[in-house]
Amino acid sequence: MTRGMDRVADKVAAGARLTFDDAMAVWACPDLPLIGRLAQHVRFRKHPERVVTFIVSRNINYTNVCWVQCKFCAFYRSPKAEDAYVLPREEIHAKIQALVDVGGYEILIQGGLNPRLRIDYFEDLFESIRSTFPNVHIHGLSVSEILYIAKISKLRLEDALVRLRGAGMATIPGAGGEILDDEARDIIAPYKDSTEEWLHVMRVAHGLGMRSTATMMYGHVETIEHRIKHLMRVREMQDETGGFTAFAAWSFQPDGTELPIRKKSSGLEHLKMMALCRLMLDNVDGLQASWVTQGSKIAQVSLEYGVNDFGQTMMEENVVSAAGTSHRVNSAEICRLIRNGGYTPRLRNAYYDDMGDPDDLPTPIEASPDLPLAGSTHG
């Protein structure tokens, strides 16, 4: 080992926190199995049992209208586009009923920054979901959506969050984190919220008792230094609030986007990235696999690189698949991958509480015939 990795290995063994320079040493190290062993040491210190969790969930994109025009997104449509939509409430309810029918209990509901949808729309929608499906957990709205809803509704951020929570929105996905460094954010999403704005929404939400996840989208214009700063900012926020339940990192998918990037991150890069996330995020318990962008086999291998959660079982996904990547994995396949990897699958909820044996589900979660199934770790 190099001197830098000797230092990293000693810190990992002692349970000491890694620094920026330590992270740079990890990334420069060519010994991927060594990095994996170090990440697994941290993983099993946090989760001693050979258990990998996942959640039965459905992604619902209630609208594709968004004026922000992020260069990395192939999903959004302008408000006047012919294929712009806002889903009717009846269709949203039908999607939720299909999830409930196969044992699901969480919806991840996100869309875009639609100037026609103020807070009363979301209150009515969430209240209707809560009254019709009282056992379904609403994991909803990205930071950008929350900020925009507050702005066009002329509300303080805290007041908007209180109203959304009162209507039924229980937890917040980490979507929109992208890279928490404005040097990169200003290139890929110049009209989107800043790093500090993203962190501030999470700070306020956590202060209200709401939990959330955090995410990273890597493999576009950012450098490894940007990635490490992102991880350190998530870690610092977790030190401050303790509100993050889990972290997910996924690779940028270039097809159909405005960024002049065509090379996708490799599976080996993804494994190193997941291990680095586990090593740096010493105060975040959950680390999710990213089968939506890397496929099921790499996701399975990532269980040996610090990952302890297989993410969500999705009946529908539209954002990543719009960028040209679509992998099909149902609950039975997730269980098979976990077991073949040498682990025991267990169901969880949004708070990472144990929800039992996935073999007790009424049927494997499958896509509707007319819907793509790609899954998502954006939440």
Domain containing residue 210: CATH number: 3.20.20.70
Q: Which residues contact 273 (CB under 8 A, 6 or more apart)?
A: 218, 227, 249, 251, 265
Does residue 6 form part of some domain?
no
Residues 225-247: what's their mean pLDDT?
Answer: 98
Q: What CA–CA distances, in Å, run from 308 to 98, 134, 300, 303?
A: 28, 29, 10, 6
* Number of domains observed in the structure of the chain: 1
Does residue 15 form part of some domain?
no
Q: Which DSSP helix (H) or strand (E) runs through 144?
A: helix 143-152
Does residue 374 form part of some domain?
no
Q: What does the pLDDT read at residue 200? A: 97
pLDDT tens digits for range 47-98: 999 999 999 999 999 988 885 655 545 555 666 767 788 899 999 999 999 9
Q: Which residues contact 78 (CB under 8 A, 6 or more apart)?
A: 65, 67, 69, 84
Does residue 373 form part of some domain?
no
Q: In terms of residue numbers, what domain contains 193? A: 31-360
Does residue 379 form part of some domain?
no
pLDDT tens digits for range 163-181: 999 999 999 999 878 899 9
Structure tokens at 129: 């979901």
Does residue 370 form part of some domain?
no
**What pTM value is reported for the model?**
0.88
Structure tokens at 327: 């992998």
Does residue 377 form part of some domain?
no
